[in-house]
Every structure is written in structure tokens, then in C-alpha cells.
């Protein structure tokens, strides 16, 4: 057992790959759903797999397929896809302090998703600097290939699976949001994160209720980031003032 642990530590990419395994329970069912929907919308199996390989953006892929099938202009499809993915503007700065100096990081960010971000935000600070890049490669490659593999299954055999078990087709789309909630839940233990996440959720729900569903996530994410950094700045200033008062005494 100890030799296996030592081997994992010596090979951080393997550690990242193993820690990505729980994500597959959320990735594969949703990817299968995407493969089914893409083929039903008139895309070929190869096109569905190509979208999952290059776009790799969950909800944006479903929106992309639906808008293209509806005949929307390409510029509008691209704009809406970018709008939904605008939350990554918030993700990047949050993990940037833990990224080591390497020219490969911009390319590796293709593997940054909601779930890999949540896991990276917790794990990267716990790892030695020399382990972080390899760990993230192992994590993102396993997650990426599971998404592509699920799309292949959905494009090739997904329709037959859902016909045999209609309930399966209804449940699969909820796997990814459920997984994200499981990864996010421990953050509510900290007061700062509880307030930040609470504000983010309320803003997203309000925007969705008033009909701004596509803009809800990116706008709420930006507002949540502002709340987080605002409260952090106030807390830091309060500590500094308290220190100045003590020194003055």
C-alpha cells in the first residue's frame, strides 16, 4: 500500500488521473445526452465528437447545437457561446496564484471546466509546485477523454439506450450539475464562501426568473467574485487597523 502511495506522489499525473475518476459519473451521462441530441439535431456522429473535442464546454455545446439547428446566424451562436463561458474569466484569476511558471498553462486551460476548476481550487494549493502541472494534466486529460468517449457512445448508441430506458434519458442531463454541487458543498463551511455563493445563487436565480437565462451564470459569477474580493479586502483592512491600534497602545 505504501509503495502505491509513493508511486502516486512520484507521478503526480497519475494522482491527477485518479482524482478525476469521480468526475466521470457526471461527465459521461451528460456527454451521452449531448451525443444523442446532436445527432437528432442533424449533426453527424463525427461532427458531434468534433464539437466535444474542440468546444468542450458542456452547456455551451447544447446551446450551440440548438441554435445551429434552428438556423441562427453564426456570429450570434459564437456570441452566445462566449457569453455562457464568460465565467472562465473568473475561474482563471482564482487559480492563477497556484500556477507555476510554464508556457504550457495557456494550452492546458482548454481542460478547465466547472468541475476541474472546483477540484483544482482545492488541490493545487496542497501540492508542491513541481507537482502541479503534471497533476492538472492527469486530471484534465481523463476528464476530457471521458467527455469525448461519452459523446461517441451517445452519437452511436445513445438513442437506442434512451428508447429502452426512457427514465435514463431524463436523468442523464442532471448528472453534471449534481456533481458540481457535491464539489461545491464543502465551501459553505467557510463564512466568506457561504456569503459569496449565497449571493451568486440568488443573483443567478433572479436573472433566470426574469428571463435572462443565458446571461444568468456569467453575470452572477462576476458579482460573486466582486463580493468575495470585496469582503476579503474589508477583512484585511480590519485586521490591519486592529494591528495599528495595538501597536499604538
Q: Could you write out the three-class secondary structure of 210-225?
A: CCCHHHHHHHHHHHHH
Q: How far is CA 157 from CA 33, 166, 226, in A?
A: 11, 14, 44
pLDDT at 230: 87
The whole-number pLDDT of residue 3 equals: 43
pLDDT, tens digit only, all 249 positions of the chain: 444 444 455 688 899 999 999 888 888 888 888 888 888 788 888 999 999 999 898 778 887 887 787 777 888 788 777 777 777 877 888 888 888 888 888 888 888 888 888 889 889 999 998 899 899 999 999 999 999 999 999 888 876 776 776 666 666 666 556 655 665 676 677 788 888 888 888 988 898 888 877 677 778 877 887 888 888 888 787 777 766 666 665
- pLDDT, position 52: 93
Domain ranges of the chain: 2-185, 190-249
Q: What angle do CA 85, 90, 95 make, to 5 degrees?
A: 115
Helix axes 59-69 and 45-54, enclosed angle (nearest 10): 140
What pTM did the predictor assign? 0.65
pLDDT confidence of residue 210: 87
Amino acid at each position: 500500500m505504501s509503495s502505491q502511495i509513493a508511486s502516486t506522489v512520484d507521478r503526480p499525473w497519475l494522482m491527477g488521473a485518479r482524482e478525476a475518476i469521480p468526475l466521470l459519473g457526471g461527465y459521461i451521462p451528460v456527454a451521452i445526452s449531448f451525443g444523442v441530441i446532436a445527432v437528432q439535431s442533424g449533426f453527424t456522429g463525427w461532427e458531434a465528437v468534433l464539437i466535444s473535442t474542440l468546444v468542450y464546454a458542456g452547456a455551451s455545446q447544447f446551446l450551440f447545437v440548438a441554435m445551429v439547428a434552428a438556423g441562427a446566424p453564426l456570429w450570434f451562436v459564437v456570441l452566445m457561446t462566449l457569453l455562457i463561458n464568460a465565467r472562465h474569466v473568473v475561474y482563471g484569476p482564482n487559480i492563477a496564484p497556484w500556477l507555476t511558471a510554464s508556457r504550457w498553462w495557456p494550452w492546458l486551460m482548454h481542460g478547465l471546466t466547472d468541475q476541474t476548476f472546483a477540484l483544482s481550487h482545492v488541490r493545487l494549493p496542497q501540492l508542491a509546485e513541481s507537482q502541479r502541472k503534471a497533476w492538472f494534466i492527469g486530471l484534465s486529460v481523463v476528464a476530457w477523454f471521458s467527455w469525448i468517449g461519452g459523446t461517441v457512445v451517445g452519437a452511436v448508441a445513445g438513442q437506442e439506450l434512451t428508447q429502452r430506458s426512457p427514465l435514463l434519458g431524463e436523468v442523464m442531463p442532471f448528472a453534471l450539475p449534481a456533481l458540481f454541487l457535491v464539489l461545491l458543498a464543502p465551501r459553505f463551511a467557510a463564512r466568506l464562501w457561504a456569503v459569496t455563493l449565497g449571493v451568486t445563487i440568488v443573483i443567478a436565480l433572479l436573472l433566470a426568473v426574469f428571463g435572462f437565462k443565458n446571461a444568468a451564470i456569467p453575470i452572477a459569477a462576476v458579482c460573486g467574485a466582486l463580493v468575495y474580493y470585496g469582503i476579503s479586502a474589508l477583512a484585511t483592512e480590519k485586521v490591519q487597523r486592529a494591528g495599528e491600534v495595538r501597536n499604538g497602545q
